[in-house]
Amino acid sequence: MSALANQYQAINLSQGFPEFDAPDFLKKQLAHYAASGLNQYAPSSGIAGLQAQIASLVQRRYAHTLDPDTMVTVTSGATEALFVAIQAITHQGDEIIIFDPAYDSYAPAIELAGGKAVHIALRSPDYRIDWQLVASKVTNKTRAIIINTPHNPSAKILTNKDITALKSLLIEHDLLLISDEVYEHITFDGQPHLSALADKELFERSFVISSFGKTFHCTGWKMGYCVAPAKLSEEFRKVHQYVTFSSFTPAQFALTDMLREHGEHVDELAMFYQQKRDVLVEALQGSRFKVLASEGTYFLLLDYSAISQLDDVAFCEYLIKEMGVAAIPLSVFYETPPGDKIIRLCFAKHTETLLKAAEKLCQL
Ligand code: PMP
Ligand code: GLN
């Protein structure tokens, strides 16, 4: 969709990435460390300073004390962390439960490891998880569940009830959890992010994965991390060692400084994106789209069933070519698309971009 958007010079609200740049301080530190000659391999699990800063962030946000040395592993983006965690725990024939609409890298990583992705479809407008249904999908081959909260693409967040149900299921069947929390700092309307890091019992069986790309507007750096108990981290590192061995050294030093000196960036992120969400939602008030609630992430779903009977892929192509706005059809996040008429917009964009896009969408 980004390629098509470029071809037609459409406003690109499709692929999820910020239109604005990373903070100047972070860029300055990156340039500084590269110029200082810190350009060789970092330790495989990350430089000690960054592991320590990640541990203090976790302490500050979730009141959980970690041993940075044995529990925090720096990765080349959350994508690498997800891939590595999946390879580390999946044996031939293992089943891993994922929720559709699902981030695109989960199922291929499971299949590549010889496992089977067991898809459970969530439906608009609430995308709530029926935990009884999940329990009915657990077999003696089930190894793990992957959750993603705040959730891309539905923009929903898990509640206390979800976490309680998830935890009892994991414990009852002795399953592992891969918790994709790349949007952990982006929740709206005062709702807290419920991290697997905040619950000791849950954390004991979890790989918690995050991304600096989302937090510091630097998706192109591909920097992230995985936090897991020491025993699980040990297994994770056996795979990480042979996937990348280590991640971009100057970025690790720069991110260490950013976390240490500018904690306020993380704390202000939710409000920063809530304002953008509100601008877009407000600007779409006059349109014929039904706007679904966005509780977190930088995504917003729109139901276009009052506007067109085209399927969502055809509708997105029409939007680009005729209206000059690019979105993502929700069906691509499903194994078996439910036939909903829903598209995803990314609002990590300047206000004027959001207003221009909304003006075009209001013409439909
Ligand atoms: N998980 C989800 C839900 C995402 O939206 C993204 C970002 N596209 C990732 C993982 C991957 O993050 P990264 O860019 O750090 O690899
Ligand atoms: N996470 C982003 C999205 O969902 C983009 C990542 C990608 O393009 N693979 O749009």
pLDDT digits (tens, 9 = 90+) for 22-43: 999 999 999 999 999 999 999 9
Residue 340: pLDDT band with limits 50, 70, 90: very high
Q: What whole-number distance in Å separates Cα of residue 329 and Cα of residue 338?
A: 12
Are 182 and 240 contained in the same domain?
A: yes
pLDDT digits (tens, 9 = 90+) for 211-253: 999 999 999 999 999 999 999 999 999 999 999 999 999 999 9
249-261 and 48-62 helices cross at what angle (nearest 10)? Answer: 40
Q: What whole-number distance in Å separates Cα of residue 64 and Cα of residue 199?
A: 8
Residue 241, pLDDT score? 98
Mean pLDDT of the chain: 98
Are 45 and 164 contained in the same domain?
A: yes
Residue 350, pLDDT score? 98
Are 31 and 160 contained in the same domain?
A: yes
Are 32 and 6 contained in the same domain?
A: no
Number of domains in the chain: 2
Residue 23, pLDDT score? 98
Q: Mutate which of 13, 14, 15, 209 to test ligand 2's pocket (most atoms within 8 Å of Cβ)? A: 15
Are 246 and 314 contained in the same domain?
A: no
> For the residues 39-51, what does the mean pLDDT come to?
98
Rounded to the nearest angstrom, the distance between the alpha carbon of 84 and the centre of ligand 1 is 14
Are 37 and 176 contained in the same domain?
A: yes
Rounded to the nearest angstrom, the distance between the alpha carbon of 364 and the centre of ligand 1 is 31
Burial 9-30 (b: 16+ CB within 10 A, else e): ebbbbbebbbbeebeeebeebb
Our answer on whether the CB atom of 16 is closer than 6 Å to any ligand 1 atom is: yes
Checking DSSP bridges between strand 342-346 and strand 299-303, what pairing results, if any? antiparallel
Last residue of one domain, picked from the residues 261, 289, 308:
261
Residue 339, pLDDT score? 95
Domain carrying residue 81? 24-261
Residue nearest to atom 5 of ligand 2 (CA): 16
User: Angle CA(236)–CA(77)–CA(46) in degrees, nearest 5?
Assistant: 60
What's the CATH number where 122 sits? 3.40.640.10
* Nearest by Cα to 137 from 160, 116, 110: 116
Rounded to the nearest angstrom, the distance between the alpha carbon of 119 and the centre of ligand 1 is 19
Residue 106, pLDDT score? 98
Residue nearest to atom 3 of ligand 2 (CA): 16
Q: 62 near 82, Cβ under 8 Å?
A: no
What's the CATH number where 277 sits? 3.90.1150.10
Are 195 and 328 contained in the same domain?
A: no
Rounded to the nearest angstrom, the distance between the alpha carbon of 309 and the centre of ligand 1 is 31
Q: What whole-number distance in Å separates Cα of residue 39 and Cα of residue 41?
A: 7
Q: What's the predicted TM-score (pTM) here? A: 0.98
Are 226 and 287 contained in the same domain?
A: no
Q: What region does 93 belong to: left with phi over 0, alpha with psi -120 to 50, or beta? A: left
Residue 335, pLDDT score? 97
Rounded to the nearest angstrom, the distance between the alpha carbon of 17 and the centre of ligand 2 is 7
**Residue 231, C-beta contacts closer than 8 angstroms, at least 6 positions apart:** none
> For the residues 306-335, what does the mean pLDDT come to?
98
Are 126 and 47 contained in the same domain?
A: yes
Q: What whole-number distance in Å separates Cα of residue 81 and Cα of residue 87?
A: 10
Q: 26 near 251, Cβ under 8 Å?
A: no
Our answer on whether the CB atom of 224 is closer than 6 Å to any ligand 1 atom is: yes
Residue 10, pLDDT score? 97
Residue nearest to atom 1 of ligand 2 (CA): 16
Q: What region does 21 belong to: left with phi over 0, alpha with psi -120 to 50, or beta? A: beta
Torsion 288-292-298-299 (CA) sign: negative
> For the residues 349-357, what does the mean pLDDT come to?
98
